[in-house]
Amino acid sequence: MGDLAMTTLQANPDASASMGEAISVRLTSLAAFSDEDRALTRLYLSPAHRKAADLVIRWMRDAGMSARIDSVGNVVGRYEADRSLARTLILGSHIDKVRRAGSYDGNLGVVTAIETIDRLHSEGRRLPFAFEVVAFGDEEGVRFPSTLGGSRALAGLFDAAILDERDAVGVSRREALVAFGCDPSRIAEEARPFENVIGYVEVHIEQGPVLEFENRPVGVVTAISGASRGEVRIVGESAHAGATPMPLPATNKRV
């Protein structure tokens, strides 16, 4: 992604400032869509998510891409290659938000990808591979117990059982998808064959202290930490850890 952006900017050395300004304007526009007043909260498949998705679709189409909301609530834009049967490079990030979030997390990767494709389109350029820009809808896992449903669908790892999960007010993921205009029965069709994909590149803010500590403007990573979630049920009784002998029989077992 960085090399692509630099290739685009080399054709116009004065473009870097205007590209940064354009990205900033898009970020500000997206930050206006929140499920809370006076704070940025954008839950998966919420009214604010829908408004953000509609704006992203408009930006994608203005940048020369075909665009749609897929079966799992992601926004997907496609910019074709200069030849047929070309492989695809996937760019993007997420547009759902945790409660009281910042405006850069996730959104930066989406709008930077759109702005880069917009520059290629304005110059009438196509490359030997196609692009897909994906604005994932379900990364944060705030609304439903499971998370990463959007990326799991693209990877062919979506578990249909999570469609029955419910949010805090009792709405199931399946019901929320249908209300959003999606068809949950077609989620399996969103899987991308690995042989057709070059890779996935995401621009993201650093959520740690390394770049700031080293006074570096940007870093490149090839992998990130993963997350596993589970539910544990413990049966036992409360007792002082220092004064209660372990061999004594339990007298008041409870969960």
What DSSP string describes 172-221?
BHHHHHHHHT--GGGGGGGPPPGGGEEEEE------SSHHHHHT-S----
Nearest to 141 by CA among 112, 106, 114, 115: 106
The yes-or-no verdict on residue 235 having pLDDT over 90 is: no
Better-scored residue on pLDDT, 83 or 226: 83
CATH number at residue 33: 3.40.630.10
What percent of the chain shows pLDDT beyond 90?
76
- 68-79 pLDDT tens trace: 999 999 999 999
Rounded to the nearest integer, the mean pLDDT of the chain is 90
Q: What is the mean pLDDT of residues 197-210?
A: 92
The yes-or-no verdict on residue 232 having pLDDT over 70 is: yes
Q: What is the mean pLDDT of residues 193-197?
A: 96
Q: Which pLDDT value is given to residue 158?
A: 97
Whether residue 241 lies inside any domain: the answer is no
Whether residue 53 lies inside any domain: the answer is yes
The yes-or-no verdict on residue 10 having pLDDT over 90 is: no
- 245-255 pLDDT tens trace: 877 766 554 44
Q: Which pLDDT value is given to residue 242?
A: 81
Whether residue 226 lies inside any domain: the answer is no
Lowest mean pLDDT among 30-39, 63-72, 160-169, 206-215: 206-215
Q: Which pLDDT value is given to residue 222?
A: 86
Q: Which pLDDT value is given to residue 71?
A: 98
The yes-or-no verdict on residue 16 having pLDDT over 70 is: no
The range of the structural domain enclosing residue 40 comes to 2-214
The amino acid sitting at 79 is Y
Whether residue 30 lies inside any domain: the answer is yes
Whether residue 187 lies inside any domain: the answer is yes
- 50-59 pLDDT tens trace: 999 999 999 9
| φ/ψ (deg, to 5) at 234 | -115, 130
Whether residue 166 lies inside any domain: the answer is yes
The count of domains in the chain is 1
Q: Which pLDDT value is given to residue 3?
A: 42
Lowest mean pLDDT among 150-164, 203-217, 232-246: 232-246
Q: How far apart are CA 19 and CA 22, in angstroms?
A: 5
Q: How far apart are CA 252 and CA 246, in angstroms?
A: 14
The yes-or-no verdict on residue 4 having pLDDT over 50 is: no
Per the CB < 8 A criterion, the answer to whether 165 and 144 are in contact is yes
Task: Give the containing element (helix H, strand E) for 93.
Answer: strand 88-94
